[in-house]
Structure 1
Amino acid sequence: MSTEPKTLAMKFSICSTGLKGMILKEVLEAANRLQLDGVELWDGHITEYLDGGGTTHDLRRLLSEQRLSVPAISTYTSFSQNEAAELQQVQRAARWAKELGCPRIRTFAGHLSSREAPPSLWDSVVSGLSAASAACEQDGVRLVIEMHNNTLADTTDDIAELLNRVGPELELIFDGFNFFVDHQDPLPALDRFYRRIPHVHFKNYQWNHQDWAQSVPVPVLQGDSDHRAILRNLAELEYDGFLSFEYFGDRVLELTQLSLIEVTQELSGGGDDRP
């Protein structure tokens, strides 16, 4: 039996949405110190950098110096409240993505859960996502909606409806924790939509279902959501994309570092034997 360590196919990044108090250069330096492969960039970080006199050429050089790539640019668009302005935001992010060699733009599907949303909201979201997806294609990038509670992409059937109505060019970001908070098993969604999932978010909490504000973020394999099962499923599927750690609060870098250690040990066969 070979004793050679397993090669990790997945790549690892951090969501800069959780580091809004840091300037972009500091975020990139921190990601490099953590030995990550990339940074999922919040579009606000890019805006601040460019407003401060930087260029996308400068940013691409900084990324190269820190040996980092950008698997996604994250916007907070949802196409349910101000479709025209949000389309412009995605178009701008798509131009940046093209210049930075980033393959996709993150968005959300509405601001209400699928069970609460009226047909008019569905129509607005589908129209906005279709226009935004077409705009991204013009710059050679893809639009990805995050699977998220309190949006139209919060159940497997409603995600399927979105994909059917928008078209085959739309992709998904899988976030198992966002199913957990809605008391749903995330694995069926991963299995059902795997071919449309180029990117994954990872976070975990000791979760208080009665008072979400009292929940405590913890390393990804120590929380109430069974992320070990998700990770093993991704490994079995031979997922080789980015797994992006998404934490918020004052322990983002610490939790990312601890989570990276746990995940790499688990994938290398060094995790414990818990089911």
Structure 2
Amino acid sequence: MIQSDEDKQGSIRFSICTTGLKAMTIEQIAVEARNIGLQGVEIWRGHIEDYLDRGGTLSQLRGLLDSNRLQVPCISEYCYFTKGWEAYQAELASLQYSAEWARALHCPRIRVFAGHVSSRKAANDHWRMAAQGLQEARQICSEQGVSLAVEIHNHTLADSASGLNRLLEPYENEIELVYDGFNLCVDRLDPLPVLEQFYPRVSHVHFKDYHWNHEDWSKSIAVPVLQGDANHAAILGRLIALGYQGFISFEYFGNQVLELTKQSLAELTEYMH
């Protein structure tokens, strides 16, 4: 397991992805996260940028999080590396800022994507650009003392065991994984074998769940994590059996983010006890 010192503190802890709360400020989110009973916030880079644009400093942001007893297990970047060279350069420039922010906020890792097309449909140029982008991104993060983590996600090169094998083969343990079992279920893949195979790289986890409509995604219904189609009870059980001691971030979108997070935390707390 690739873990920071903060990750080695003890049992599983819970955080919220602020990507689903873009209309709120990080100050508002921090208060909500504390009130729900979370231990962390996985911060979308836009929330940090907004805080700084409004005159705040990274030191003040760290103080805000500390006062709410919140850690930052991950900063969420939207880098793909395969959308053309202009976008590629812009993504690396953005990542440079995020890595510096992560260091200041005592955050151990940056989340990125690998490619914007499915591994089954990707051209050789997509694989080549993704490989180069991950290498450059890893170096940027390393210079700031933080890790680079690729999210397992549908419609990316990291969408299946075969895609992950091809993507990560050159890197040994230099690149971490953000495990999201639901993203595999969207493609009708069993999430548990992927967790078993790639667990040594998993440093962070996303939980969300739905009653998923494979024919019309817009008709899918978000539900608390133990009530959906991805069998998160089995995923959580396997994480515990494997000895996972990092963060699980609730990653919901829409107008029920806080309520679904609250319900999910209550379910998992009861399940684990």
Mark yes or no: TM-score above 0.5: yes
Match in the other structure for 1:13: 15
Where does structure 2 lack aligned partners over 5 or more consecutive residues?
A: 1-9
In the alignment, is the contact (CA less than 8 A) between 1:110 and 1:151 conserved in 2? yes
Matched, 1:147 2:149: no
Where does structure 1 lack aligned partners over 5 or more consecutive residues?
A: 1-7, 269-275
- Segments of 4+ moved more than 4 angstroms: none
Residue in structure 1 matching 2:231, options 226, 229, 246: 226
In the alignment, is the contact (CA less than 8 A) between 1:34 and 1:257 conserved in 2? yes
Match in the other structure for 2:164: 159
The offset of 1:165, in angstroms, is 2.8
SS state of the match for residue 13, structure 1? strand
SS state of the match for residue 198, structure 1? strand
Distance 2:104 2:225 in 1: 33
In the alignment, is the contact (CA less than 8 A) between 1:235 and 1:267 conserved in 2? no
Matched, 1:173 2:178: yes
Match in the other structure for 1:30: 32
Number of corresponding residues:
261
Residue in structure 1 matching 2:48, options 46, 53, 57: 46
1:51 corresponds to which letter in structure 2?
Answer: D
CA offsets per residue over residues 161-202 of structure 1, 9 Å max, x none?
Answer: 111134531010000000001000000110111110010000
Matched, 1:185 2:190: yes
Distance 2:117 2:170 in 1: 18
Match in the other structure for 2:244: 239
CA offsets per residue over residues 86-131 of structure 1, 9 Å max, x none?
Answer: 0111111000000000000000001000011100110001100110
Match in the other structure for 1:72: 74
Q: Give % identity.
A: 51
2:21 corresponds to which letter in structure 1?
Answer: L
In the alignment, is the contact (CA less than 8 A) between 1:37 and 1:67 conserved in 2? yes
Residue in structure 1 matching 2:61, options 35, 59, 62: 59
Residue in structure 2 matching 1:89, options 84, 94, 100: 94
Distance 2:243 2:201 in 1: 14
Match in the other structure for 1:3: none
TM-score by length of 1: 0.94
The offset of 1:224, in angstroms, is 1.3
The offset of 1:204, in angstroms, is 0.2
2:204 corresponds to which letter in structure 1?
Answer: H
Match in the other structure for 1:253: 258
In the alignment, is the contact (CA less than 8 A) between 1:114 and 1:158 conserved in 2? yes
SS state of the match for residue 184, structure 2? helix
Match in the other structure for 1:4: none
SS state of the match for residue 12, structure 1? strand
Distance 2:166 2:215 in 1: 30
Distance 2:104 2:229 in 1: 39
Distance 1:203 1:224 in 2: 10
